[in-house]
Structure 1
Amino acid sequence: MNTPKVAEYITNWLKDYAVNAKVNGFVVGVSGGIDSAVTSTLCAKTGLATLCVEMPIHQAQSQVNRAQEHIAQLKERFSNVSDARVNLTSTFEDFKTVVPVVDASQKLDLTLANTRARLRMTTLYYLAGLHGLLVAGTGNKVEDFGVGFYTKYGDGGVDLSPIADLVKSEVFTLGEHLEVPESIQKAQPTDGLFGDSRTDEDQIGASYNELEWAMQIQNAGKKVEDFTGREKEVYKIYTHLNTINQHKMVAIPVCEIPKVLK
């Protein structure tokens, strides 16, 4: 990958899109992870207004520290960067008191994790509406088009996706080129939606390097039966998630009424 050229290309793409849309710039949710750090830096490089938003919900202090370090660095480097902090913990807790009570279960944990992401999406669009900004997505190619590792209408609810054609390893390479804080470059990827220390790899059962391999293999037309051992295990994980999460990756189905019935 020609990293400097890729960074320049995405920056120009972002700026052209915003200018044509007649908006003031971008709003980005900053989590302390590599994807949001790279996305917000690319937005900042456009010279257009870039609002970085922290939205903690029972967040680990290490994630908060990395997000704040990154935002502080961006504000020093780019005069067009501003920030906001919206602590959604009380909102999340209030939400849990007004919805139907159910017994604790894995489904409840996942549903509440997705609720966190959707509260953040609502916050970003509130700020985007106030300031005339576009919500910039932070998903990478493996998450968005491989395993569907994001929340539908949560972090998947965005106006444009600047890094969604880059796999995770390419995002890390771009992060180093863009001088993202070293603490973020070294941190284990996590969605931070469960209020504990679990990483993306813990949830998925495979590393991003393994998932990138599986994505390439699937595109080459390989089948699970072609592999053994760990490769077979990883490929089964990838193909399973790719299948069950297609509803996130394809257009919303529309019931088209036959003309003879209209």
Structure 2
Amino acid sequence: MQTEKVVDHIVNWLKDYATNAGVNGFVIGISGGIDSAVTSTLCAKTGLNVLCIEMPIHQAESHVTRAQEHITLLKNRFDNVSDTRTDLTPVFEEFKTEVFSDGDQATIDMALANTRARLRMTTLYYYAGLYKLLVAGTGNKVEDFGVGFYTKYGDGGVDLSPIADLLKSEVYKLGAYLQVPESIMQAAPSDGLFGDTRSDEDQIGASYPELEWAMKMDDAGKNANDFSDRELEVFKIYKRFNSANKHKMIPIPICDIPNILL
């Protein structure tokens, strides 16, 4: 990958899109992870206004520390970057008092995890409306189009996706070039939706390098019969997530009404 040229291409794309849309810049949620760090740095390089927002909800301290380190360094490098912190923990706790919990605990926990992501999306769009900004998405290609590892209308609710055509390994290459803090470069990827330090690999059962391999094999038309042992296990994990989350990757279904009924 021609890293420098890819960075320039994305930065120009972001700037052209924002200019044509008549907005002032971008707003982005900072999680302490590689994807939001790279995306916010790319947005900052446009020279347009960039508002970085921390939105903790019972967040693991390591995530908070990394997010704050990145924001501090970004503000030191770019004078067009500002930040704010919206503690959504009280909002989340109040929400839980107004809904009923019906079902097994794992199902409840997942529903609440997705609720966290949707509260953050609402917050980002509040500030986007307030300051005439675009919500920049942080999803990469494996998450957005491979395993669908994001929340529909949560972190998937964005105006534009600068890094969605990049594999996770490619995002890391951009991170190194863009001087993302080493603490973020070395941290295990995590969605931070459960208030602990569990990683994406803990939840999915496969690492991003493994998922990238499986995605390439699937695109090449391979099937489970082509693999054995760990490769077979990873391929099955990829296909299971890809199938279950397909609804996130395709346009919302529309019920077409036959003309004869109109």
Structure 1 position 94, deviation (Å): 0.3
Where does residue 126 of structure 2 map in the other structure?
A: 126
TM-score by length of 2: 0.99
Distance (whole Å) between structure 2 residues aligned to residue 224 and residue 87 of structure 1: 45
Residue 88 of structure 1 pairs with residue 85 of structure 2: no
CA contact under 8 A between 2:148 and 2:246: conserved in structure 1?
yes
Tell me whether 1:230 sits opposite 2:230 in the alignment: yes
Q: Structure 2: how far apart are the matches of 1:48 and 1:197?
A: 33
* Equivalent AA in structure 2 for residue 183 of structure 1: S
| Deviations, residues 150-177 of structure 1 (Å, cap 9, x unaligned) | 0000000000000000000000010000
In structure 2, distance between residues paired with 1:30 and 1:147? 22
Distance 1:164 1:136 in 2: 11
2:203 is the counterpart of 1:203: yes
Given the alignment of the two structures, is residue 52 of structure 1 paired with residue 34 of structure 2, yes or no? no
**1:166 maps to what in 2?**
166
Instruction: Give the residue type in structure 1 aligned to 2:18.
Output: A
Q: What is the one-letter code of the residue matched to 1:53?
A: I
Aligned residue in 1 for 2:144: 144
For residues 25-61 of structure 1, what are the alpha-carbon distances to aligned partners after superposition, in whole Å with 9 as ceiling and x for unaligned?
0000000000000000000000000000000000011
* Inter-partner Cα distance in structure 1 for 2:58 and 2:139: 22
Q: 3-state DSSP class of the match of 1:94?
A: helix
Amino acid at match of 2:49: A
Partner of 1:62: 62
2:51 counterpart SS class: strand
**Deviations, residues 106-126 of structure 1 (Å, cap 9, x unaligned):** 100000000000000000000
Equivalent residue pairs, number: 262
| 2:43 corresponds to | 43
Unaligned runs of 5+ in 1: none
Q: CA deviation at 1:104?
A: 5.0
Closer/same/farther in 2, CA of residues 261 and 103 from structure 1, 3 Å limit: closer
Q: Secondary structure at the match of 2:36?
A: helix
Give the 3-state SS of the residue equivalent to 1:82 in structure 2: strand
Shift of residue 102, structure 1, vs aligned partner:
2.9
Give the aligned partner of residue 12 of structure 1: 12
Partners of 2:62 and 2:236 in 1: CA distance: 33
**What percent identity do the matched residue pairs reach?**
70
Shift of the alpha carbon at 1:103?
5.4
What SS does the corresponding residue of 2:260 show, helix, strand or coil?
helix
How big is the shift at 1:101?
A: 3.2
Deviations for 1:216-257, whole angstroms, at most 9, x for unmatched residues?
Answer: 000000001110000000000001110110000000000010
Secondary structure in 2 matching 1:188:
coil
Return the offset for 1:100. Answer: 1.4
Contact 2:101 2:108 in 1 (8 A): no
Q: CA RMSD in A?
A: 0.7
- Give the Cα separation in 2 of the matches to 1:103 and 1:8: 49
In the alignment, the residues of structure 2 paired with residue 165 and residue 104 of structure 1 have an alpha-carbon distance, to the nearest angstrom, of 37
- State the Cα deviation string for residues 165-217 of structure 1 (Å, max 9, x = none): 00000000100000001100000000010111210000000000000000000
One-letter amino acid matched to 1:174 = L
Question: Match of 1:78?
Answer: 78
Residue 26 of structure 2: aligned partner: 26
Question: Which whole-Å CA distance do the structure 2 matches of 1:16 and 1:58 have between them?
Answer: 37
1:109 matches 2:98: no
Q: TM-score, normalised by structure 1?
A: 0.99
Distance in 2 (alpha carbons) for counterparts of 1:240 and 1:190: 20
Contact preservation (8 Å) 2:74, 2:81: yes
| Change in CA separation of 1:218 and 1:29 when aligned onto 2, cut-off 3 Å | same
- SS across alignment from 2:197: coil
Q: Does residue 244 in structure 1 map to residue 249 in structure 2?
A: no
**Partner amino acid for 1:109?**
D
What are structure 2's unaligned runs of at least 5 residues? Answer: none
**Is structure 2 residue 185 aligned with structure 1 residue 180?**
no
